[in-house]
Amino acid sequence: MSTEKIEFDALVVGGGIAGLQAALDLADQDFKVAIVEKDASIGGKMIRLSKVFPTLDCASCITTPKMSAAAHHPNVTSFTYCELQTLKKTGGEITARVTQKPRFVDEIKCIGCRQCEYNCPVYVPDEEQGGFAARKAIYIPFSNAIPQVALMDVENCTLCGKCAKVCPTQAVDYFQKPRDFTLTAKTVVIATGFELTPLRDKQQYGYGEIENVITALQMERLLAPHGPYNRVIRPSDGMEPDSIAFIQCAGSRDKSMGVSYCSRVCCMYAIKQAMLLSGAVPMADIAIYYMDIRAFGKGYEQFFQNAKAMGVEFIKGKVATIDPGENGTVKLQYEVQGAQGGVTTAEHDLVVLSLGMVAGWNPENACSVGTGSDAFIKTIQPKIAPTLTDMEGVFVAGVAAGPKDIVDTIVEAGAAAMEASNYLTRLTRKLAA
Amino acid sequence: MADDNKDKKATSEQKVGVYVCHCGGNISDHVAVEEVCKNAEKIPGVVKVQNDVFMCSDPGQELIMEDIKNGTVDRVVVASCAPDLHSSTFRNAIQRAGGNPYIYEHANIREQVSWVHHGDQATNKATRLVAAAAAKARELQPLEPFKVDAKRHVTVIGGGIAGLKSALDLARKGLDVALIDKSPFLGGWTAKWDRAFPTDDPVSELVTALAGEVLNSEKITVYTCSRITAFEGFIGNFKLTLTQAPPESDAYEDEIKRLSDSGKGFGEFVPLAGICPAGIPETTTTHDIETGAIVLATGFLPYAPRYGEYRYGESKEVITLPELIRIMAENRQKGVGDTLEINDRKIRSVAMIHCVGSRQIPGIHEPDAKGNLNEYCSRTCCSATLHAASMIRNNHPKTRVFDFYRDIRTYGRGQEELYEEASDSKVVFFRFEADAPPEVTRNTGSGDFPLNIKVKDTLTFDEELEMPVDLVVLAVGMEPGNISDLVEMMKLPVGVDGFLQEVHPKLRPVEIAQSGVLLAGTCQAPFDMGETCSAASGAAAKASAILGKGYVELDPFVAEVDLNKCLGTGTCVNACIVEGALSLVEMDVDGEKVKRAQVNPALCTGCGACVAVCPENAINVKGWTLKQYEDMVDMIVSDRILPSQTA
Amino acid sequence: MALQENQAKILILATEDCAYPGANAVGQAHMSYPENTYVLRVRAPVMFPEHFYLDCFKKGIYGIIIMSCGVECPYEGAYQALAARVDKVYAMMREEGLDPRRLRLTGVCTVCTKAFVKEVNQMNQLISELGPPGAESKKAA
């Protein structure tokens, strides 16, 4: 097995908005930075969103410039579709073992022309579009992906050979193998982000069984300007919903799901989606079932009050069960707080689960960085140096250190870059002395 | 100047090379590349036309580099995919061949032609786009990124934790720092709390950790009792005047008393006051500082309840949360009993009310004397209140706590646990709507409680509940600090909420429109301590990226005045959207003193607002001139390259 | 009758931060639109004086769409100045007997593919009704 060794000043684990910002802030201070990203494109979760609160500007318009700045920065090298295996520290040097997963497409030869994609006969539900649209078995992950390099989904490929035939650069390689390589750096920023709370343990929310119950990330795709249908319809029958409900704290502040903490973003994204929906389906009634509305960031409370003024209904109550109703409707049972009290039921055409965040990466088998009881990376001085982990020279940014919205994530990424930069400066001085 | 003119006249002799990419069929399947190339030879100024299957490949780039090296071409047009994908590739290739990267122009014939149009029409459109790009290329001038020397020095205004953290980060990075605070103390509001939520860290340790290192750093000069009294300059080269003066008689009285009572020396932490680094000046002195960047860490002020708001001021039994925190901290030094005591008065029950001075709603809440409403959430008060509530319940089990809230916003790591702890320790919660806040009245009924609190509780079906209490604590929010002098002097942008306004919350969260001036912490919005320190480090990261090299490299795409045309009308100066980027200056032209427009490239953003208004077209943005656009339009409508068909 | 590339031309001034990438997104999605459209990349359309637009019509451009970043404009204050100028151009167009709808100011974001195509189609519809610049005043006369 061939292993190469490549040297950098800093390694950023994760190429989402936190990782990109940290990498750019380090690169701008003239450090050589490597980004290791597990997905086939940098951009993380943010590039998948429609519009972002509280400014309602389009997520892509904010993320793409940072993606492209990182891609073109002379001090930044991105390694996409790569898994970090281990991080080992010896003296002042940190060695990362990385495995690049096979794309079955030569990333140097591929020019991103998509001929393979157009000619592939296989259709697979596209997870980038919430499963609502189809993609091919060989495809560019999404329109503004960086790099614009195709990858093959071998699970679904029928080996028909069409893609290899039409590729103008002979980039398709059915025999590509995982490639191991080693990176060295002096400091590391962990920016591994999050996944949505899995619902497998929450049968009362009926996930997977009730067709018109979707996740908030799926709603993002329905609302995105380049989304799957170009309008908001419910999955079961393509009907434009007349009544839409959001269920808050679905997977947060809920010990039965193992997630006792608040995920910080769900109130705001639900309010944002509700506002976007009142533009997309102006006749629909929109209700948000909540425990507490946590609109705490700059301009957020005003955003919440605007939504209220626009007619979005806020119902304080914890939804207990979700069941399929007649003709594709969804039945909710919830405990009312307020005037009459008691347990009430309601029916909606479409129900959105405002899922929370769980840690995106567990460092347990890779390095000695510790985690908190919430499974996010532990920080040792949360009040005055919030990005310090318990492994010297390793810093953390964004949701990897606990749920956070985009604004807080970007600021924290700048902070992690500063701490890492100072660590590098200190190290150089020590070596010089 | 004479030489300049010669350069400009040479325009018509520029040698343009056109390089058309097939993109492996992506372009050539829909656009007849050979035909585009044949037509391109007819474009004025074009001396060479080449094509390649992949222009971006090494052999493709070689074609361009060869032609530059041997002097065949000195302007380059590549017709290929969208410019953001490969323009840096081609600019680098030109540079490697010894050319200036700005002599390059792009024709987008993939995303905007072959992928959206088909057949002859696609070929014709591609030809016209190439012709337009060539016309623009003829007018391109070699440009150099604009460099200004920058002082490797940063001024941090505000000595709270945001200022301390920023100063420390910058000093560690090797930059010189002036840290300024208007008070005699470092530590800001943090020093006036007791323990930080939810970690329970004593603030004395937090402030000492930061301020200790600041005071020991050779890189940081601390100026207390100081204010900025004059400001000028721009990124890399600001000039500040600092006035250091004894505080006005009643200012910081409490803190100064705590310092002298504590018996602590300079540089030591004094509880509820902070760290006084060097005493109090007796005379007024001024200092001039030349600095490359400025970090604003001017912080916040706790909301001061109005007289009568929840009986505040009318009843001595109504206090604010910061006041309670201070009392409890002092009590702890004396030792605690099983009932909370305030001024020897036993507090059997306390009501804590959230959202005082925060989340105000037009039509429901009354604006202040200036007509302002604090519509924002102050972010920290829920957790601070619950932290204090649990502390009361844990230390004084005989004091009951009633908590009146609108929404509990314990969003941060470890904060939901605070909420839980408060519930577990039997804090009783009541929830009210914004339009039906709890009512505090004098208790005339049962017992010897001084106050009564009444609320319509939405947790228990809107039931009206009333209870007598010994103390009411108002969880006051944050208000912007009083920095109107700085706002006016430095022309700082203030948002509708009164806090300083960043350029964009996600793209440039710690920057303001004025380059080189950065925001750190609660001068921007309410934050807790950790968030404040993150923002402070983020601002430091930006400042060190700006000043790290000792010079600031600015975009060359700035406005440029053609002194041969400028008549000094000043129209451009009025149209300019950036204060100071354009001005009229007196200069000598042919022995006559005249006024002419002058661009400050350090401030110009290159938007072109000036270009549109100049009656002489004497001002243009380098690389994007009006003439270039006019020439492009001419090529688009021209029938010279493509004969127009009779429809 | 479909308008062809070499006949009625539409000029699109697209901001490099928003609308120009938006036009590229249309290409990436392989959506089709008429060929008579010429997208010029601009930093901020505020740079064009009133006469630029009138000259374009004189040169034979049938319609102009300014695709800006709207209020998300990265140059603070530029959008307001642009909007004010466009109003002036409308008045001048009326004086010259040009239908002001031939010039349109709109916002297009980096992924606003449908908005882009809609704008192009609407302008095409309009100019196929109006004919060449100046024809409207002859019709009226």
Q: What is the pLDDT of residues C8-28, one digit of tens each?
A: 999 999 998 889 988 988 988
Q: Closest Cα of chain B to C43: distance in Å?
A: 6
Residue A395: pLDDT band with limits 50, 70, 90: very high
Nearest to C21, CA basis, from A224, A55, B108: B108
pLDDT of residue B408: 97
pLDDT of residue A338: 61
The chain-wide mean pLDDT, for chain A, equals 92
- Which residues in chain B land under pLDDT 50? 1-11, 645-647
C33 token code pair: 């639109």
d(CA A218, CA A232): 11
Nearest to B471, CA basis, from B344, B330, B348, B304: B348
Chain A hits for C113, Cβ within 8 Å: 225-226
Residue A208: pLDDT band with limits 50, 70, 90: low
Q: Closest Cα of chain B to C33: distance in Å?
A: 6
Chain A hits for C112, Cβ within 8 Å: 58, 225
Contact: B538, A29; criterion CB under 8 Å: no
d(CA B148, CA B152): 12
pLDDT of residue A374: 95
pLDDT over 90 at C6, yes or no: no
Q: In chain A, positions 378-407, which contact chain B (CB-CB < 8 Å)?
A: 382-387, 401-402, 406-407
pLDDT of residue B647: 33
How would you classify residue B462: left for phi > 0, otherwise alpha for psi between -120 and 50, otherwise beta? left
d(CA A94, CA A187): 7
- Which residue in the set C23, C38, C47 is minimally distant from B608, CB to CB? C47
* Secondary structure tally for chain C: helices H, strands E: 5, 4
Q: Are C119 and C66 in contact (CB under 8 A)?
A: no
Q: How far apart are the first and last CA of chain C?
A: 25
d(CA B400, CA B402): 7
Average pLDDT over residues C55-84: 89
Average pLDDT over residues A89-100: 95
d(CA B380, CA A332): 34
- Which residue in the set C110, C113, C115 is minimally distant from A64, CB to CB? C110
pLDDT over 80 at C137, yes or no: no
Please give the C-alpha separations between residue B572 and each of A27, B567, B615, C7, C44, in angstroms, as whole numbers. Answer: 37, 11, 9, 37, 16
ipTM: 0.95
Chain A hits for B199, Cβ within 8 Å: 382-383
Nearest to B532, CA basis, from B368, B366, B296, B238: B296
Chain C hits for A143, Cβ within 8 Å: 25, 28-29, 111
d(CA A330, CA A228): 23
A160 token code pair: 């028909």
Contact: B645, C31; criterion CB under 8 Å: no
pTM: 0.86
Span A240-295, pLDDT tens digits = 999 999 999 998 898 877 899 999 999 999 999 999 999 889 999 999 999 999 99
Q: Which domains does chain B have, with CATH numbers?
A: 12-143 (3.40.50), 153-299+481-551 (3.50.50.60), 309-477 (3.50.50.60), 556-622 (3.30.70.20)
Which amino acid belongs to residue B571?
T
Closest alpha carbon within chain B to A262: B411
Please tell me whether the peptide bond between B198 and the residue prior to it is cis, using omega within 30 degrees of 0.
yes
Q: Does C131 touch chain B (CB under 8 A)?
A: no
Nearest to B331, CA basis, from B317, B345, B352, B318: B345
Lowest mean pLDDT among A61-65, A229-233, B48-52: A61-65
Domain ranges in chain C are 9-140
Fold that domain C9-140 belongs to in CATH: Rossmann fold (3.40.50)
B7 token code pair: 């350069």
B147 token code pair: 């460099």
* Widest pairwise Cα distance in chain A: 76
Would strands C9-15 and C61-68 be described as parallel, antiparallel, or unpaired?
A: parallel
Q: Show Cβ contacts of residue B62 under 8 Å, excluding neighbours closer than 6 positions.
A: none
Contact: A143, C29; criterion CB under 8 Å: yes
pLDDT of residue B508: 87
Chain B hits for C79, Cβ within 8 Å: none
Average pLDDT over residues A392-409: 97
Q: Does A231 touch chain C (CB under 8 A)?
A: no
Please tell me whether the peptide bond between A74 and the residue prior to it is cis, using omega within 30 degrees of 0.
no
Chain C hits for A56, Cβ within 8 Å: none
Please tell me whether the peptide bond between A54 and the residue prior to it is cis, using omega within 30 degrees of 0.
yes
Lowest mean pLDDT among A50-59, B101-110, B157-166, C90-99: A50-59
Nearest to B610, CA basis, from B622, B600, B621, B596: B621
Average pLDDT over residues A198-210: 75
Q: Does B373 touch chain C (CB under 8 A)?
A: no
Q: Which domains does chain A have, with CATH numbers?
A: 5-194+358-432 (3.50.50.60), 198-356 (3.50.50.60)
pLDDT of residue A207: 62
Q: Does A115 touch chain B (CB under 8 A)?
A: yes
pLDDT of residue A157: 96
Q: What torsion do the CA atoms of B32, B33, B38, B40 make, to the nearest 10 degrees?
A: 120
Kindly provide the b/e burial profile for residues C51-64, where b requires at least 16 CB atoms within 10 angstroms of the residue's own CB: ebbbebbebbbbbb
From the number of C-beta atoms within 10 Å of its C-beta (0-12, 13-18, 19+), residue B265 rates as exposed
Kindly provide the b/e burial profile for residues B497-515, where b requires at least 16 CB atoms within 10 angstroms of the residue's own CB: bebbbbbebbbbbbbbbbb
